[in-house]
Structure 1
Amino acid sequence: MVDKYGDHFFSCQSFNKTTMSNAIRDGDAVDTEKKGVVKTAPLSRPFDWFMDVNHVTAATLRQGTALSTVGFDVIVISPPSPSDLLQYAPLENTTRLLRNGEKGKFMRVKGGTNKLTGHTISPDQLMGAIVDSHQALIPQVVDPWGKWNELFERTLIGDRAAPPVPSYPALRRNAQRMHELACSTRVPFGLLNSANKNWKTSHSDLWYGDSYLAADPKTWALQQIGLTITTALTAHLIAGHDNLSLPHPSST
C-alpha cells in the first residue's frame, strides 16, 4: 500500500527521482549541463543549469563580482520521516530538510576523471576547483510540496539574509568554502527584484508577459518556475502510480 500523500514515491529508491529533477532543470529555458567547468575533469557537469555573469549589468546593479558563472544543481528531497514528524514542528522540518539538501549538494558524491590523462580528483577537490576558477554553485532544492530552499530563494528575491553556514567535516573543506561563497555578497542575489526595477524603468507601459497576470519579469518568472516544478512533481507521482506493482489476489 502507498500512503495517501504519496510520500513513498519520493522516499523509496525504487522510484528514481532523476527524471523529475531533470524536468525541473529543463523547464527553465536556460543553458544546461555545462562541460569544462573544471579543467582537470572537463567532462564533469556539476551544474544542472547555469548563467554567465554579465559584469556590466552586475556593476550597474551595484553587485559587482569577480565570478564568471553561477551554476545551479537541482535535487528533489524526500519528505520527513515518521520520527521527524514526531520530533519537529512542520515548518522546522521543512527548513531543516531543505538545508540538509543544500549541504548534501555541496558535499557532492562524484568526483571527476580526465580521460586523456587518467587524472582523477575527489568530490571535494572538484568543488575546490570550481571555487578557485571564480565560479559558484547554488543548490536548487525542492521538497515534495514544491517549496524551495533559502539560498535559491535569495538568488531570485534577495529580500533576506543568507542562512547560516553549517559546519563540515575536515575532509570537506572545499564544500564549506563553496557554501560560504554561496552565502556571500560575491554571488549576485535578488535577480528578479532587480529585473523588475529595470523593466519598470524602461518599459513602464508594457506587460512583460502575455497579460496583466504576468505584467513584470518577477511575476512571470515565478509563474514559470512554479509551473515547471508542479508539472515535474505531478509527472513523478503519476509515473510512480503507473509503475507500482501490487500483488494479485490469490485464488482459493
Structure 2
Amino acid sequence: MGKTDWGIVWEVLPNLLTGLKTSLAITLLVIIISAVAAVPVALARMAEFDLIRWIAQGYIELFRCTPVLIQLFWMFYALPILLDISLSGFTAAVIAISANLTAQVAEVYRAGFQSVPAEQLEAAKVLQVDRYHQVASIIVPQTLRQQLPALLSIAINGFKDTALVSVIGVVDLMFAANTAAAQTYRSLEILTGAALVYFVVAFPLSLLVSYLERRGQQRLNESASKRTKQAVAA
C-alpha cells in the first residue's frame, strides 16, 4: 500500500472550488424553482376535484418513488428525444432535481397548509378575501414559518443530490474531483477532500435545522404548559 499524499488536495482545491460554484448554482436555482412550483402542486394535491388531486398525487409519487439518478438520465437523454429539443447537462440537471424537490416540498407545504387554523380561513371568507390572497397572505407565510426546518433539510438533500450531475457531463464538484483523481491516481485523498467540501457547506445548514427544530419544540412545550395552567386556573 502506497503512502498517502494529502498535499495533493491543496493542489487541486482550486479546481474543486470551481466545481463547487457550479454545484451551488444548481442548488440555488433548484431551491427557487421548487419552492415556487410546489405551491400549486400542493394546492392541487388538496383539490376537491378528483382528477386534479390524482394528477398531483401521481406526479408526487412518481418523483418520490424513483431514483434521482434515473430522473437525471431521463431528462438528459429521453426528454430531448420526446420533445425534439436539445438540452445541456446543466439545464437537464436543474430540471430533474427541481422536479424531484418540487414533489418533496409539495408534501411539506400540504402538511403546513392543513395546519393553518380553519378559523383564520373562515374569517378571510367573511371579509371577502379572495383565494389568491388567502394563499399568499395567510396560508403560505404561516407554512414557511412552521415547516422551515423540513424545507432546509430538503435543501440540504438537494445540494447533496448535485453530486450525481457529473454523470451527465456537468462540471460540478464531483466531476472535478473524479477528473483530478483520475489524473493524479490519488483517489483516496481527493475524494476525501471533496467529501469534506460537501460537509463544510452542508453542516452549518444542518446545525440551523437542529436549532430551529429545538426552538419549535420549545415553543410547543411552552404553549402546552400555558394551556395547562389556564385549564387548571379555570
* TM-score of the superposed pair, with normalisation by structure 2: 0.32
Higher-strand-fraction structure? 1
Larger Rg: 2
Bigger relative contact order (CA 8 A; separation at least 6): 2
* TM-score of the superposed pair, with normalisation by structure 1: 0.30
